[in-house]
Amino acid sequence: MRILVTGPTGAIGQYVLEALMQTDHEVRVLSLPDSMHRINYRDRIEIVMGELSDNTALSEAVEGVDIIYHCALVGPPPAKSAKHMMHVNADGTRNLLSHAVGRVQRFVLCSSSVVYTPHEKPWQWPVTDDTHREPFGGAQQIAHSESLMAAEDAVTRAHITHGLDYAIVRPTLVSGRKSYFIEQMVIAVLRTPDGLDTLRQVWDTMQWVHGSDVASAALLVGEHPEAANQRFLVANGEPITIYDVQALTWDIMNVGKTDNPFRDVAERNNLGLRKYEPGKLHALGWTARMDVKACISEVLGRLEFYSSAGIKLPPHLIGD
Amino acid sequence: MNVLVTGAETFLGLRLVAALRAAGHIVTAFATEPAAPSRFADDPRITWRAWPTRKDAFAKALDGIELALAVDLSVLPEDPTACRDKRLFKLIDAAESAGAFRLVVLSTTEICAPPKGVAGQIDEEAPLRAEGEMSLRAQLAVTLEAQLAKSAAEWAVLRTPMILDADNPAARMFVRDILVEDAAAPGRFHPVGSDDVISALLAVARSDKTQGLATHVGAPMAFSDRALDQEIGRLARVLTDEAEPHDALRPSHQPTVAVFSTAALDERTGFAPKQSIWPALSQTVQVVIHDLQSSGLLESLRRKNGFVSRALELGDTPLVGKTVVITGATRGVGRATTLLLGSLGATIAAVDSSAKSGNALIEEVASGFNGVPGTFLEADLSSLEALRDVAMELSARFPKIDVLIHSEDRRFNTRRDTAEGLEMTLALHHIAPFLLSNLLAAPLQAADAARIVMVSSDEHRDAKGPDAEQGAFQGTDAYAEAKFQNLQASYVMAQLLEDSSVTVNAINPGEARPEAAGDGEIPDQPQQRATSVKASAMAIVTLATAPEFAGETGLYLEMETIGSSAPATYDEAAAWKVWEEAARLTGLRDRAAEG
């Protein structure tokens, strides 16, 4: 089969591309004109450079494609204007859809759990695949959510009016090579081990998911016959707070020791209840392979690399 | 390894089968029902079946089994007398014959006599309870253990205290009793988590020091009665939105001496329990509270995926062919309501004072998701004459009107009078809905089931009443008074229309953010969230269209739940007075509402 991945350098797209490299599919990517050097596997894929508003590029990208993994969606961080998010996420998806209808077998949209109704309080848990959608939170979050809902609506509309088969994945907080939030959390744990209370309140209970697990979910719903025209929450099974990040970081950095000074506070802060329950993916046999500890190890490894190589930390790792 | 699991349908059996599968074993599962749960159904490494009744089938099913794990007693069987028997005895016999396989049976520590003193511990040597004090489960366990003791099979027993797990009915009942019946927590509560039980079962099965012995398992810690009470209380607050800020952190509790010693387990198998039971307790309390909410014993807080949101999610158009007349349609909640109705396929007839934004709105509806062409009627709703014109035009254009929503919401800081000399707030919020509803009686009654929705406000509770001293004009007072009279008139209207197909209900759509959502722009500044206009619109559209409100009339809703307005609004005599006065002012008299 021929596959198109949009946004192949992003937090999710790069892992979707990586996962596709383990398959026999022919892969094509659609990527922004200035992004060539950041695309992986350049020798093994077909590359179309262009924006989602570029009809020539879109028609070239979609030509002969069986499945589209649409990962070229944007959100904070860094802060983005509501207009920009609406332009890329909603208008961009609509444009891509106008080329995809009648041509592809399935359209997989990589949305986000930010579209779900307010779920910051434990009595609202668990959020499940088809929990009602409603933007909430700060202005950025609301704007992000509204732009993704518009993108999702465009996809369902293409299904209703043109019979396009689709699947929507909604990952929670994505860990991996482009995981600004998670990197910032690990850096905060290292720099201000005694000042985590604000982060505890900001993030409260989290359930991460690694980019590679989002990719395996996306590939699964891209081809599974029972996944057609459905929405899938993607999250690992570990509810954590920032204090668990601290305790796990200590464990990783103190291999073999058991007297973790942060364990008790971490356990007392953790309610032990899941915020997200990705029931549909589990029913299809998906489970997350990367646990929180593995995600943190990865971030620590990256920080260690920068420090040992004497490389100045890139700005996105230092930023506040 | 080829492993047999009996009691596979129990909560522990299901987990055990999943754990064995994950470890790469081939599993035969005996359950009460022959059909496997969907997650095991297509797995070639799992053979799921009902207990074989025929002897040859039983022998065949056991062929090649190397280990049997009987966890039937993890729950009390539905028919304990039938189980006392036979099936497990047969399994013991089969294990005995030629030492075919090792049998590990799950039993219960309930058979042991209670510990002595506040720090007493129970180990495997502890005496049994007197027969008369034994629970049904303990009686079954004793029978089973006695049968094993007589047998020459290769066997081991694992005794567990209560398995604290949200899927365990006994654990839910235990928590529910403390939560609802205010049952006293036990002095020391020492349960065990499912994961530890499964690990212990496998450790006991693997060990060569457990042959012919019963071994105890328990969690790494126990709860004191105080800790258990406090924690269940904290969880109940957190899970019913009653949490105090300090509830985010579980307090430090003094460690309590474990009731069941796990020294023998450690010594015989090298396995030490490590699963924290705090999360297990949280999960159990969560399920109990959700159960109480769904059975109506606790108010349900969780948003239902209702009629409107489901239709939106699926892209359904349940309102195709329905005509909705809405006033105050171009601003705020009215606007959001119009757009929402449009995306459900309704034919919109919007009434408001600005032709420019009105026509743009209708265009937006038509070009939106599932939108159909609609109509905009420009009218000054404060003018009786304009209202009559609009009503005439609407009646002419739409022989049937399915929904009429009065969502005009303007308010004024200074006193203004209408052309007819009425105070503007009263004219817009009370007189206009009154007159328009009456004038549209014919098309409303022509519809199969029409609904009139008055968008009200909680501020009506501040109304000072008609006899209050007339001081300087206060916008908030005028608004409260107008909304108050509007409610009175609504209830009279509902009463008059009781035998018709038209219903009249009022709704408080929450305090909407006044900001820019009106023109669809997303605000640049983060702000305190009252209700979003979208949520308010969702509540209004639910009342106006959802099947659960079919035939309901005279209601006052707080968002999507039925509430009640200020007690004085239900005073019939006063309400009729308001009705008569409105009829007089509008020249309707009492041919009103009769149609």
For A204, other C-beta atoms within 10 Å of its C-beta total 17
CB distance B534–A130 less than 8 Å?
no
DSSP run (H or E) holding B156: strand B155-160
**Which residue from B301, B524, B534 is facing A139, i.e. has the nearest CB?**
B524
pLDDT at B304: 53
| A273 contacts on B by Cβ (under 8 Å) | 279, 282-283, 286
Does residue A140 register a pLDDT over 60? yes
Which comes out higher in pLDDT, residue B323 or A306? B323
**Which residue from A132, A264, A270 is facing B303, i.e. has the nearest CB?**
A132
Unique residue bearing structure tokens 């979707």: A16
Q: Which residues of chain B have pLDDT under 70?
A: 79-85, 98, 300-305, 313, 511-532, 589-595
A23 contact B CB<8A: no
Chain B residue at shortest CA distance from A274: B283
CB distance A135–B252 less than 8 Å?
no
Amino acid at A103: R
Beta bridge partners of B68: B4, B103
B255 contact A CB<8A: no
DSSP run (H or E) holding B324: strand B323-327
Nearest-5° angle of CA B306, CA B309, CA B311? 100
Which comes out higher in pLDDT, residue A314 or B113? B113
**Which residue from B279, B522, B524 is facing A146, i.e. has the nearest CB?**
B522
Chain B residue at shortest CA distance from A143: B522
Residue B594 is given by DSSP the state T
User: SS3 letters for chain A?
Assistant: CEEEEECCCCCCHHHHHHHHCCCCCEEEEEECCCCHHHCCCCCCCEEEECCCCCHHHHHHHHCCCCEEEECCCCCCCCCCCHHHHHHHHHHHHHHHHHHHCCCCCEEEEECCHHHECCCCCHHHCCEECCCCECCCCCHHHHHHHHHHHHHHHHHHHHHHHHCCCEEEEEECEEECCCCHHHHHHHHHHHHCCCCCHHHHHHHCCECEEEHHHHHHHHHHHHHCHHHCCEEEEECCCCCECHHHHHHHHHHHHCCCCCCCCCHHHHHHHCCCCCCEECHHHHHCCCCCCCCHHHHHHHHHHHHHHHHHCCCCCCHHHHCC
DSSP-derived 3-state class of residue B267: helix
Going by C-alpha positions, the residue among B47, B59, B60 that lies closest to residue B8 is B47
Which among A93, A123, A240 is the top mutation candidate for probing chain B, defined by the most B β-carbons within 10 Å of its own β-carbon?
A: A123
Going by C-alpha positions, the residue among A115, A108, A109, A182 that lies closest to residue A143 is A115
Considering all CA atoms of chain A, what is the largest pairwise distance in Å, rounded to the nearest integer? 61
Alpha-carbon gap, residue B214 to B145, rounded angstroms = 9
Residue B503 is given by DSSP the state E
B497/chain A closest Cα distance in angstroms: 35
Beta bridge partners of A229: none
ipTM of the complex in this document: 0.85
A248/chain B closest Cα distance in angstroms: 16
Whole-model pTM: value is 0.72
pLDDT at A319: 54
Going by C-alpha positions, the residue among B581, B432, B579, B397 that lies closest to residue B493 is B579
CB distance B283–A121 less than 8 Å?
no
Which comes out higher in pLDDT, residue B367 or A164? A164
For B512, other C-beta atoms within 10 Å of its C-beta total 20
CB distance A139–B522 less than 8 Å?
yes
B286 contact A CB<8A: yes
Average pLDDT over residues A93-116: 96
Unique residue bearing structure tokens 């596959």: A3
The rounded radius of gyration (Å) of the Cα atoms in chain A is 20
pLDDT at B100: 78
Does residue A47 register a pLDDT over 60? yes
pLDDT, tens digit, 9 for 90 and up, residues A167-220: 999 999 999 998 889 999 999 999 999 989 999 988 899 999 999 999 999 999
Going by C-alpha positions, the residue among B454, B335, B435 that lies closest to residue B382 is B435
The rounded radius of gyration (Å) of the Cα atoms in chain B is 34
B276, B193 Cβ separation under 8 angstroms? yes
pLDDT, tens digit, 9 for 90 and up, residues B325-354: 999 999 889 999 999 999 999 999 999 999
Alpha-carbon gap, residue B352 to B338, rounded angstroms = 12
B492/chain A closest Cα distance in angstroms: 36
Alpha-carbon gap, residue B287 to B176, rounded angstroms = 10
pLDDT at A240: 97
| A111 contacts on B by Cβ (under 8 Å) | none
Question: Which of these ranges, A9-23, A37-51, B140-154, has the smallest mean pLDDT?
Answer: B140-154
How far apart, in Å, are the Cα atoms of B76 and each of A210, A239, B88, B319? 41, 32, 14, 51
List b or e across B129-140, with b for residues whose CB sees 16 or more CB atoms inside 10 angstroms: beeeebeebbbb
**Which residue from A122, A157, A264 is facing B238, i.e. has the nearest CB?**
A122
Contact residues for A14 (Cβ-Cβ < 8 A; gap 6+)? A8, A40, A176, A177, A178, A211
Alpha-carbon gap, residue A64 to A247, rounded angstroms = 50
Question: Which of these ranges, A252-256, A306-310, B514-518, has the smallest mean pLDDT?
Answer: B514-518
Cis bond leading into A77, ω under 30°?
Answer: yes
A23, A47 Cβ separation under 8 angstroms? no
Does residue A54 register a pLDDT over 60? yes
A131, A92 Cβ separation under 8 angstroms? no
Cα B266 → chain centroid: 43
B339/chain A closest Cα distance in angstroms: 14
Alpha-carbon gap, residue B432 to B439, rounded angstroms = 10
For B210, other C-beta atoms within 10 Å of its C-beta total 22
CB distance A123–B239 less than 8 Å?
yes
Query: Phi and psi dihedrals of B588, rounded to 5?
Result: -85, -30
CB distance B529–A136 less than 8 Å?
yes
Edge-first strand listing for the sheet containing B67-70:
B46-50, B26-31, B2-6, B67-70, B102-108, B155-160, B214-216
